[in-house]
Amino acid sequence: MVPCDNKNRELLPAVELSRPVGIQDSLSTRPKTLGIVLIVIVGLLNFHLPHFLLERAASDGDAAYLEWVFLANLLGAVIAAVAVWRNRRWGWWLGVVVVTLPFVLYLAQETVGLPGLPKNWWEPTRVVSIIVETLFIVVAWSQVVATRQRMPA
């Protein structure tokens, strides 16, 4: 603590001089940028339009709700990315929900089956999506824990 003024003798926290402020700020933006990129990738991987347009049968009307679920997931990913960019902690939590939903649907698809989707455990886009989802959860957890005091809710 350092004295602020000789008259009031208030104590202010001493500024850490080990790194310049600009470098400290740029280091804190790296996980944020990584989180934004990961959540957008998850949204795009889960709403892969060619799958819905090319692989789905034209008469398969009962699987249409999945398109809406994955579209909502993509929009949730975009909203979470914007919130993380604006330093909102709830953006990280929304991102966790966004990456958890496709994982739960993937498990349901491969175990009990979902209408209009084949059971294929090793579909490349799903495997990549699970890897990216896991990376996002790790980054989100580290940011929520590290910034509990700094970020507004």
pLDDT at 40 over 60: yes
| Residue with more model confidence, 110 or 57 | 110
Question: Model confidence at 149, in pLDDT bands (50, 70, 90)?
Answer: low
What average pLDDT does the segment 60-77 reach? 78
Q: Which residues contact 78 (CB under 8 A, 6 or more apart)?
A: 40, 43
Asked whether the predicted pLDDT for residue 68 surpasses 90, the reply is no
Residue range 80-118, pLDDT digits in tens:
999 999 989 899 999 999 999 888 988 888 888 877 677
Residue 3, H or E segment: strand 2-3
Q: Where are the domains of the chain?
A: 31-146
Read off the tokens for 98.
């966004």
**Burial grade of 38 (CB within 10 A; 0-12, 13-18, 19 or more):** buried
Of the chain, the percentage scoring pLDDT greater than 90 comes to 31
User: What is the crossing angle of helices 89-111 and 64-85, to 10°?
Assistant: 160
Q: pTM for the complete prediction?
A: 0.70
